[in-house]
A and B are shown apart, each in its own frame.
Chain A
Amino acid sequence: MSRNVLIFGERGNQIRELITAARLVVEGGSTVAAVVNDSALAEEVSASGIAAVNITSAGLNKADVAAVARALQAVASNKDAAVVIVSADRRGRLVGSYLAQLMNAAFISNTDRVACTDDIICTRNTLGGMLCAEQKSLAANQVIAISAKVYDEAPSSSGGSVEELQDSFEAGGVSLIAESSKDTSVADITEADVLVVVGSGVEKDYLDQVQAIADKLSGLVACTKPVATDRKWYSEELVIGISGKTCKPSLALLFGVSGQVQFYAGIRDAKVIAAIDKDQNALITGLADYVLIADTTDAIPGIGAAL
């Protein structure tokens, strides 16, 4: 069954991953990517051999989710696309779910795999990461948000094109008044072969020693959500879990991490998990390969010295 697919994303690498996903479901249909006020990005993604639409409507700002969704709805309708694929980052989820409502569509969020039979079957975590579900749309239209790094970036290919859409769309009443960058100089934990993970059972004074352990193992430091969002010791980019990143390192060395499902869903695919926790009943003791029951204030210096 041939399908036309509309893609929405904000960065080239992300859109190229979504193009790979789209190719699994188009079955002879066409793929078009829409971007907002970004001719360079439209040009860049068209190099993967697809049509790119640059929405340049006057007054349209990216922060106005409703207006962006209305513009995408117009592109979808114009291109006869009943399937929209967005990135499962914050903007993608927001715009995608609003668009789903406009299109009377299903919105399947945080999809880790798409497979095609008569329907598009999406695989995603549910119940806080405890279960892995297969879901499909019952509606004629569907918006699928795909997690980062699930698919490889589509390679360059000829046949792409760029067009501009200048129509104006009803504003959603949200004005952008300021913008500031977060620290994005942090390393990409999804690429690391070794991750040393800081949980709430680590004291702040020991972070340097944890970093030294990661350095000795040629790995990266990552963390649990409360360590980033409540204590603010690290960037949220380093969080593992359903609201952070999914990582597949050879070794995950966890310090003071209890192993709640929302965290574990992001590290489940590690080859070996070693956990240090002072509580022999902590959940993680049943979810790790090697468990050392110890206080992190002893184990961190101990491991640092032994490596």
Chain B
Amino acid sequence: MEIIVAMKQVPDLQQVRLKNKEAVLEGVPLTFGDIDKRALEAAVQLRDTHEGTVHLLSIGNEELEDTAKEALAGGADAATLLISDEFADLDSAQVAQYLAAAIKDMDDYDAVLFGEASGDNYSGQVASRVAAILGYPLIGYAQKISYENGSVTVECSYESKVETVVAACPAVISVVSDIAEPRIPAVTAILKAGKKPKEIMDETDVGIDEASAVIETLSALAPDDNRKCEVVDDVGALIGALKAEKIL
């Protein structure tokens, strides 16, 4: 089974600090999003069952080459990385255009996997947009994927029900976080990651001069989280404090 996994590099949120209510992103390491890592693991497991390859696809600034090693160590066989200064701050519609253009140029594959939403923006729209651009079946919120004779059968997890659907490949599939537990790469896998094939492309290579943004962010500030942060000594003191607040 030939699988592309699209992964987004996001800042490590635990290392983001706030200054005057704004997030300070300078110096914060980038990593692939947690749900994307689970999509990668799901792809690796499918490949191990059905043979084939897992191909990482990602877009970003020059740090992406380094971030990509994480996924190559985590089981991806090869990578296509769209790297340019122009790619540092795209909106989801722009990302989808670039990714879809790159996918069109890639060899035959059966599925393109995405995480249900990115760890930073969490808007969950790139998979749908890519499917719409490519005209491929879109399956969302997959919790289990099986592959047979050129088609996928997928259990999709909605809030109140599970739907099982079938589609002919190639299909675009977004996955929920419980689809798979990401592996911790072995040292040998980390060493081998640097030697795996990588193709690096910029906007000219993907053949899109300019993708227009459709969203403008007018402000992005941290809300006031002014809490008392009072450390109490024991259970009695906690109950006392809550009684004093008149909520017990």
A: which residues have CB within 8 A of B? 63, 65-66, 69, 89-91, 93-94, 96-98, 100-102, 104-110, 121, 125-139, 172-182, 184, 194, 217, 225, 229-230, 232, 236-237, 242-243, 250-251, 260-262, 264, 268, 271-274, 276, 280, 285-294, 299, 302-303, 306-307
Given the interface pairs A66-B131, A289-B230, the reply to whether A94 lies near B141 with Cβ below 8 Å is yes
- State whether B129 touches A101 (Cβ < 8 A): yes
Give the tally of cross-chain contacts (CB within 8 A): 254
Select B159's contact among A237, A260, A299, beta carbons within 8 Å.
A237
* Contact pick for B166, options A110, A175, A290, CB 8 Å: A175
* B232 contacts A94, C-beta separation under 8 Å: no
Output the nearest chain B residue to A140 by Cβ-Cβ distance.
B214
Interface window among B46-54, B191-199, B237-245: B237-245
Residue of A nearest to B178 (CB): A229
* Pairs A-B, 8 closest by C-beta atoms: A97-B125, A109-B123, A101-B132, A97-B128, A173-B137, A302-B235, A133-B220, A106-B214
List the A residue with the shortest CB-CB distance to B117: A243
Which B residues from 155 to 172 make CB contacts under 8 A with A?
156-168, 171
Q: Which residues of B contact A132 (CB under 8 A)?
A: 220-223
Complex contact B178–A230 (CB within 8 A) = yes
Given contacts A174-B171, A302-B234, 20 further A-B contacts (CB under 8 A): A66-B138, A93-B124, A93-B125, A94-B128, A98-B132, A101-B128, A126-B220, A127-B16, A128-B122, A129-B122, A130-B13, A173-B167, A173-B171, A175-B165, A177-B153, A237-B159, A274-B238, A286-B227, A291-B229, A303-B239
Report Cα–Cα, A269/B117, bound state, in Å: 24
**Interface residues in chain B, defined as those with a beta carbon under 8 Å from any beta carbon in chain A:** 10-11, 13-14, 16, 18, 23, 92-93, 96, 117, 119-125, 127-129, 131-133, 136-141, 153, 156-168, 171, 174, 176-178, 181, 212-223, 225, 227-232, 234-239, 241-242, 245, 247-248
Chain A residues with Cβ below 8 Å from B162 are 179-180, 182
With A69-B132, A130-B222: A174-B166 Cβ-Cβ less than 8 Å: yes
Docked-complex contact B123 and A98, CB < 8 angstroms: no
Decide: A90 and B161 in contact? CB cutoff 8 A: no
Task: Tell whether, in the assembled complex, residue A128 and residue B223 are in contact, meaning their CB atoms are under 8 Å apart.
Answer: no
CA separation between A108 and B127, bound complex, in Å? 15
| Contact residues in A for B93 (Cβ distance below 8 Å) | 100-101, 106-107
Establish whether residues A292 and B132, one from each chain, have CB atoms under 8 Å apart when the complex forms.
no
CB-based contact A134/B235 at 8 Å: no
21 CB contacts below 8 A, A to B, read A65-B131, A65-B140, A90-B157, A97-B124, A98-B138, A100-B125, A107-B129, A109-B122, A109-B123, A109-B125, A136-B216, A180-B162, A184-B160, A230-B181, A236-B159, A242-B122, A251-B247, A272-B245, A274-B241, A290-B241, A302-B235
| Alpha-carbon distance A108/B18, docked complex (angstroms) | 24
What is the minimal beta-carbon distance from B243 to any residue of chain A, in angstroms? 11
Say whether, besides A65-B128, A90-B141, A127-B16, A134 and B218 are in contact (CB < 8 Å).
yes
Instruction: Find out whether the CB atom of B223 lies under 8 angstroms from the CB atom of A268.
Output: yes
Which residue from B119, B132, B157, B220 sits with its C-beta under 8 Å from A66? B132
Write out the residue numbers on chain B whose beta carbons fall within 8 Å of the beta carbon of A229.
Answer: 176-178
Assembly CA distance A250 to B153 (angstroms) = 44
A47 to B241, CA, bound (A): 48
Known: A63-B156, A182-B162. A107 touches B16 (CB 8 A): no
**Given A130-B16, A176-B164, also A290-B238 (CB < 8 A):** yes
The chain A residue with its CB closest to the CB of B219 is: A134
Query: With A105-B214, A126-B120 known to touch, is A272 a contact of B247 (CB < 8 Å)?
Result: yes
Say whether, besides A65-B138, A181-B160, A299-B235, A287 and B117 are in contact (CB < 8 Å): no
CA distance in complex: A66, B135 (Å): 9
A17 to B10, CA, bound (A): 33
Q: Is the CB of A292 within 8 A of B129?
A: no
Most chain A C-beta atoms within 10 Å of own C-beta, residue among B132, B171, B221, B223: B132
| Whole-angstrom CA separation of A304 from B15 in the bound complex | 36
A268 and B123 in contact, given A105-B214, A106-B93, A237-B159 (Cβ under 8 angstroms): no
Flag if A90 contacts B165 (CB, 8 Å). no
Whole-angstrom distance between the Cβ of B202 and the nearest chain A Cβ: 24
Q: Once the chains bind, are A135 and B217 in contact (CB under 8 Å)?
A: yes
B169 to chain A, nearest CB (A): 10
Distance (whole angstroms) from the CB of A144 to the closest CB of chain B: 11
A303-B14 Cα distance, complex, nearest whole Å: 31
Instruction: State how many angstroms separate the Cβ of B35 from the closest Cβ of chain A.
Output: 9
Is B14 within 8 A of A260, CB to CB? yes
Given contacts A91-B158, A109-B123, A288-B229, contact A306 B140 (CB under 8 A): no
With most chain B CB atoms within 10 A of its CB, the pick from A121, A237, A271, A306 is: A306
Q: Are A179 and B218 in contact, with the CB atoms below 8 A?
A: no
CA distance A143 to B223 in the complex (A): 25
- Is B216 in contact with A135, judged by CB distance below 8 angstroms? yes
Bound together, the chains give a CA A135 to CA B93 distance in angstroms of 14
Q: How far is the CA of A153 from the CA of B4 in the complex (A)?
A: 42
The residues of B that contact A89 with a CB separation of less than 8 Å are 158-159
A173-B229 contact given A66-B132, A101-B133, CB 8 Å threshold: no
